[in-house]
Structure 1
Amino acid sequence: MRSISVTMSVTLDGVIQGLGRPDEDTRGDFRYGGWGPKYTDEIMGAEMAAGMGEPGDMLFGRRTWEDFHRAWADATDGNPFTAHMNAATKYVASTQLADADLWQNSVLLRGDAAETVADLKASPGPNLAVIGSAALVRSLHAAGLVDQYSLLIHPLTLGTGARLFEGPAPLTEFELTRSITTGTGVIIAHYSRR
């Protein structure tokens, strides 16, 4: 059985929306997009690179897959993250996409995300990593499918925006397995399901 690990950047008040750039996700008139890059430093880069060094497949929701496709599918920047993204098998859970042919090594998972991902998790193969994809993560968490979280907790509050868990989340206990603090005050906390 595969494990599912989630990596998510979050503010102190739980906001996960619009981390990367101002136009990334403006749903609900969100105007604070791009809050994350100023907190990036060498410590964060090394920690994220260590995660990329582990073999595995990737799992996305439609919006994040489309956004990542635009950023990395045609990139030739020599960045090891670009090479990793393009080489990995990328599963995209969607009821709206007709196919996932736009980005090499992408596989469309049609139907209910929790059901299709549960089937994928039960199949033989590499572990699965989720980056972003908040709606998918909420669905997987509610179905008891998430095994690990790596939360990059940023030292700011926004007061508005989509949060990691909106509405009730089932009681699930995790234990802190490792943490590191970056030079910009981001706490990178790794949790595993108890």
Structure 2
Amino acid sequence: MRKVNATLSITLDGVVQGLGRPDEDTRGGFTHGGWGGKYNDDVMAAEMSKSMSNPTDMLFGRRTWTDFITVWATRIDDNPFTTRMNTATKYVCSRTLENADAWQNSILLSGDAAETVAKLVTEDGRDLTIIGSVSLVRDLHAAGLVDSYTLLIHPLTLGTGRRLFEGSAPLTEFELTGSVTTTKGVIIAHYTRL
């Protein structure tokens, strides 16, 4: 059975929206986009490189997949992130996309995300890594399909923005299986569902 790991950058008050760029996700009038950049350092890069070196397939929600296309699909620089993103099999969950042809090695999972991913994890194949895609993560968490989380907990609060868990989430217990603190105070915590 395939496992699902969700990797998310999060603030102390639970915000996951708009980490990378000011224009990344302005839904709801969010004005704090790009909050994560000043926290990058060599420790974080090394930890993310370790994670990206694991041979997993990728799993995306439509919005994140579409955004990642603009960042990764046309890059030709020689670094492990670009190579990994472009060569990995990428499953994209969407009710609106007609195809996933815009980015190489992408496969469309149409319909209800929890149903399609529940079927996917029973098939032979590599484990699945989700980067971002908070709406997808929420749906899969509610269906009991997220096996582990890697949370990059940033030392700031934003007060507004989309949070990892908005509304109700089922009682789920996790074990801390590892953690690293970066030089800029980000705690990279690895949790596995009990």
TM-score between both structures, scaled by the size of structure 2: 0.99
RMSD over aligned Cα, in angstroms? 0.4
Q: Percent identity?
A: 68
> Per-residue deviation at 1:78?
1.1
**Which whole-Å CA distance do the structure 2 matches of 1:116 and 1:77 have between them?**
34
- 1:19 alignment counterpart: 19
Runs of 4+ in 1 over 4 A off after TM superposition: none
Map 1:179-190 → 2, pairs under 5 A: 179-190=179-190
Residues 70-109 of structure 1 mapped to structure 2, 5 A cutoff = 70-109=70-109
- How far apart, in 2, do the equivalents of 1:21 and 1:109 lie? 27
Partner SS, residue 121 of structure 2: helix
Residue type of the alignment partner of 1:117: V
Query: 1-side partners of 2:132 and 2:122: how far apart?
Result: 22
Equivalents in 1 of 2:74, 2:16: separation in Å? 26
Counterpart-to-counterpart distance in 1, 2:54 and 2:161: 32
Instruction: Write the mapping of 1:8-47 to structure 2, written as runs, cut at 5 A.
Output: 8-47=8-47
Taking the aligned partners of 2:55 and 2:125, their CA distance within structure 1 comes to 10
> TM-score, normalization: structure 1?
0.99
**Residue 4 (structure 2) aligns with:** 4
The letter of the residue matching 2:146 is: V
Partner of 2:140: 140
In the aligned structure 1, how far is the partner of 2:173 from the partner of 2:158? Answer: 27
User: What is the rounded CA distance, in whole Å, between the counterparts of 1:20 and 1:3 in structure 2?
Assistant: 27
Q: Distance in 2 between matches of 1:28 and 1:146?
A: 27
Whole-angstrom CA distance in 2 between matches of 1:100 and 1:57: 15
- After superposition, give the CA deviation of every residue in 1:123-160 in whole Å (9 maximum; x if it has no partner): 11000000000000000000000000000000000000
